[in-house]
Amino acid sequence: MTSKAELRTIRAGLAHTRGGVVRTEEELTDLLASWASYPLVVKPFNSAGSDGCRICATPEEARTAFWAIAGQRNLMGEINEGVLVQEFLAGSQYIVNTVSMDGRHLLAELYAERIDRVEGSPVLRHITSRTTPDEHEQELVDYTMSCLDALGFRDGAAHTEVMLTADGPRLVEVNSRLMGPYLSPDAYHCGFGYSSPHLVAERLLRPEDFRNRFDLPYGPAHTLAKVFLRAHRPGVLSSADGLRELRRLPGFHSVARLPQVNDVLRDTQLTTGSCGTAFFVHEDAELIEHSLAVLHEIEDSGTLFQVCEVGG
């Protein structure tokens, strides 16, 4: 069954991602019979944090992924009654955060994502804000606004993920909510001069002040990076000595929600912030990119978080 988002983008004449929602193995088999190319993506119809996302290279892998998702409780606390199958999009993935008022959409934040593939699952390592969108990124922003129009989105926050492919932008998903999982405003105000929750409150409490923002160009002065910290493997946290090196990296702003010694770190691939979140803010985007590369080396080497076997 074609998703409602796909149907509406088709009707609006927008380029779209091929996909469908299936609820039974029979529906999955019928959908796969018409699928011409692999890999494809299988994920819960409604969840978050990369929960259950799998990149499948064969029909057999797709069926295995379906049964790992269908009927299970997802991160939203709901039972997965539908599983979304989408074509795999090659390109660079972006986040476009907006706040809308009376059908007009304000670009609040634009981020490029770094996504690694770990054991067949996409793992979001960090997002980095874009201060001045280039020509292709502006096309992606305009495309996102058209998708919001096609979906009938008129008011409030939206967190949209879009892939910039060789054929242009393609919608991955629209979430009618703020971006999570951690929204303490300090780093965002440092990077943008505001936070998305701030904009939502302003739209509701001071609508005329918010309306004036539509006349201002998008262009934050600083680059902000948000890193979903991860341990190199599951286990019991025995030490976090690498945090001292993290805090010394150029552009470091803050860390939040760090795990405590003796905490059990179970799924290190989800982007729920269970291993903490680090923020970097600086006017020099290249400096931040260098710090992020060093940080990921520290994570992957096992020197940021030291873990031991459960019960060990």
Model confidence at 82, pLDDT cuts 50, 70, 90, reads confident
Same domain flag for 297 and 193: no
pTM of the model: 0.84
HSE value, Cβ hemisphere, 13 Å, CA-based, for 69: 31
Q: How many domains does the chain have?
A: 3
Whether 123 and 42 map to the same domain: the answer is no
Q: Are residues 107 and 209 in the same domain?
A: yes
285 shares its domain with 269: yes
Q: Are 115 and 163 in contact (CB under 8 A)?
A: no
Residue 158 lies in a domain: yes
Rounded Cα gap, residues 278 and 12, in angstroms? 39
Task: Determine the Cα–Cα distance for residues 257 and 229; give it in Å rounded to an integer.
Answer: 10
User: How far out from the chain centre does Cα 168 lie?
Assistant: 19
Asked if pLDDT for residue 2 goes beyond 60, the answer is no
For the cut 70, the answer to whether the pLDDT of residue 45 exceeds it is yes
pLDDT of residue 233: 85
Query: Which helix H or strand E contains 29, and what residues bound it?
Result: helix 25-33
Of 37, 52, 87, the domain-final residue: 87
pLDDT of residue 280: 98
Computed from CA positions of residues 287, 289, 292, 296, in that sequence, does the dihedral angle turn out positive or negative? negative
pLDDT at 254 exceeding the cut of 80: yes
pLDDT band at 87 (very low <50, low <70, confident <90, very high): confident
Assign residue 154 the CATH number of its domain. 3.30.470.20
Q: Would you say residue 78 lies in a domain?
A: yes
Percent with pLDDT over 70 in the chain = 90
Q: Does residue 73 lie in a domain region? A: yes
**Cis before 181? omega within 30:** yes
Binned at pLDDT 50, 70 and 90, residue 47 comes out as low
Range(s) of the domain holding residue 140:
92-215
* pLDDT number for residue 285: 97
How would residue 50 be classed by pLDDT, with cut points 50, 70 and 90?
low
Asked, for residue 12, whether it belongs to a domain, the answer is no
Same domain, 142 and 203: yes
Predicted confidence band of residue 9 (pLDDT cuts 50, 70, 90): low
pLDDT at 167 over 50: yes
> Which of 183, 215, 247 is the endpoint of a domain?
215
Span 107-127, average pLDDT: 87
11, part of any domain: no
pLDDT for res 1:
44
Question: Does 177 reside within a domain?
Answer: yes
Residue 164: both structure tokens together: 């910039």
Mean pLDDT calculated for residue range 81-93 = 88
Distances (CA, A) of 104 to 11, 147, 169: 20, 12, 20
- Is residue 7 situated within a structural domain? no
